[in-house]
């Protein structure tokens, strides 16, 4: 049709693109905010859960160390005041306070060595940093000063504990050769020059959180796939809807343009076929009136010419 000449980017593509953008941008923004909001909520939940478990775990380790130290203190006071009890006296070279010399006492050993978590343990050492009780017999009598350079964070906690209660984190190689973070709390045994250290790998307490994190990762992937497919379906629906709607607007306009073009070349019998209830219908009625007026005018002119 002549009216289409020179039209490079008509109303139809403009309407189509506008409808799609108007519909998709808010929808995409809402879905993005929903997804990121859930992601941030999940992250905060896991972070807070880890913090809570860390605090509970470190407090549990502390209580084991403090409880073991208290039991040892009670044991030594009881042994010191029990006539005939087979307990040797150990004299601290840096103090005038006598304490018990630790031999192969199975009951004392059962008090000193306790499990902490799945692989953790308690150990007892002197104020000279010499190990007295340890779950590994090879470590008994070991001078902890030798770990000063190899494990500086461990030694920093140990050194502080020689003056009082101390705690902290340090890295340690497990039986599989993997470096993992440990937490240690050291408590002095009241009335002696002994100290109790309770330590274990912190990640042992994160089993439920790790399972929750794995489950939430899977749920997040499922949510992403769900949002993607729903969005894809909505995009296709919006494209189809926008196409039909834009077509419903541009089609009658092109029809009226064709009618006007045919009237301009003398075709006064062309039919105006527009059935809408909007401004386009008003334009169609105006063209229809113009067509009738021209037709009447031509009839009158022909009558006068006879």
Q: Identify the band that residue 103 occupies on the pLDDT scale cut at 50, 70 and 90.
A: low
What pLDDT does residue 11 have? 65
Which tens digit of pLDDT belongs to each residue from 181-227? 999 999 999 888 889 999 999 888 887 777 777 777 787 778 777 87
Q: How many domains does the chain have?
A: 2
Domain holding 132: CATH number?
Answer: 3.30.450.20
Domain contains 163: yes
**65 lies in the same domain as 201:** yes
Given 175, 205, 235, the domain boundary residue is: 205
**213 lies in the same domain as 194:** no
What pLDDT does residue 100 have? 47
This prediction has a pTM of 0.61
**219 lies in the same domain as 200:** no
Domain contains 137: yes
The C-alpha atoms of residue 187 and residue 123 are separated, in whole angstroms, by 11
Asked which of 11-20, 51-60, 130-139, 158-167 is least confident by mean pLDDT, the reply is 11-20
Q: Residue 30's domain spans which residues?
A: 2-46+209-305
What pLDDT does residue 66 have? 97
Given 154, 175, 205, the domain boundary residue is: 205
What pLDDT does residue 284 have? 85
């Amino acid at each position: 049709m002549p009216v289409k000449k020179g039209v490079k980017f008509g109303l139809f593509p403009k309407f189509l693109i506008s409808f799609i953008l108007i519909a998709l941008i808010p929808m995409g923004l809402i879905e993005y905010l929903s997804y990121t909001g859930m992601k941030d909520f999940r992250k905060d939940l896991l972070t807070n859960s880890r913090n809570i478990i860390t605090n509970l775990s470190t407090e549990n380790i502390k209580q084991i160390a403090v409880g073991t130290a208290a039991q040892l203190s009670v044991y030594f006071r009881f042994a010191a005041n029990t006539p005939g009890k087979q307990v040797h006296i150990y004299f601290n070279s840096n103090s005038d306070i006598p304490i018990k010399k630790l031999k192969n006492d199975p009951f004392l050993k059962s008090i000193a060595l306790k499990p902490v978590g799945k692989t953790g343990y308690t150990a007892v050492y002197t104020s000279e940093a010499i190990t007295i009780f340890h779950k590994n017999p090879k470590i008994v009598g070991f001078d902890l000063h030798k770990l000063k350079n190899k494990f500086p964070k461990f030694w920093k906690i140990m050194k502080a504990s020689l003056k009082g209660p101390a705690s902290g984190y340090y890295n340690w190689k497990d039986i599989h050769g993997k470096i993992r973070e440990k937490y240690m709390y050291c408590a002095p045994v009241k009335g002696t020059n002994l100290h109790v250290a309770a330590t274990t790998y912190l990640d042992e307490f994160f089993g439920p959180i790790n399972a929750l994190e794995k489950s939430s990762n899977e749920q997040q992937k499922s949510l992403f796939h769900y949002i993607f497919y729903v969005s894809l379906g909505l995009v296709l629906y919006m494209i189809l809807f926008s196409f039909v709607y834009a077509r419903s607007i541009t089609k009658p306009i092109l029809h009226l343009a064709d009618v006007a073009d045919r009237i301009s070349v003398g075709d006064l019998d062309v039919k105006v076929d527009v059935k809408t209830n909007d401004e386009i219908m008003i334009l169609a009625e105006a063209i229809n009136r113009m067509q009738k007026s021209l037709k009447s005018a031509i009839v009158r002119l022909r009558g006068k010419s006879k």
